Amino acid sequence: SQTIHQWPATLVQPVGSPLSLECTVEGTSNPNLYWYRQAAGRGLQLLFYSVGIGQISSEVPQNLSASRPQDRQFILSSKKLLLSDSGFYLCAWSQQGGNQPQHFGDGTRLSIL
């Protein structure tokens, strides 16, 4: 069966520090991969998605970047965190093709001080 791992579960970082959140998927190949951010009381905002290695699409301009160095690995990064980067970050995968459900990791709660 397929599983998705996302870490760390919580992270506290100072303003201006770098960020690296990692997500890996097991049990499937060539998945679509997604990074979301959820603000308190709001829905999921899609930040990045990837349909293959090295293929990244950004949905909103921001202080973050994403990379997909391997088929089942998706990394969310920042060179210098801002206060506004605080939030709950979720990684997800889906099968290739349209109209497939997404499967989420347990998320990372990021607090910027």
CB of 16 to another protein, least distance (A): 27
- Chain-centre distance for alpha carbon 11: 14
Residue 53 makes contact with another protein by CB under 8 A: no
From the list 1, 14, 41, 54, which residue makes contact with another protein (rule: CB under 8 A)? Answer: 41
From the list 13, 28, 44, 62, which residue makes contact with another protein (rule: CB under 8 A)? Answer: 44
Q: Which of 10, 37, 6 is nearest to 24 (CA)?
A: 6
Cβ partners under 8 Å of residue 23, min gap 6: 4, 5, 6, 33, 35, 73, 74, 75, 76, 91, 105
| Interface residue list for another protein (CB under 8 A) | 6, 9, 32, 34, 41-44, 46, 49, 51, 57, 59, 90, 92, 94-107, 109
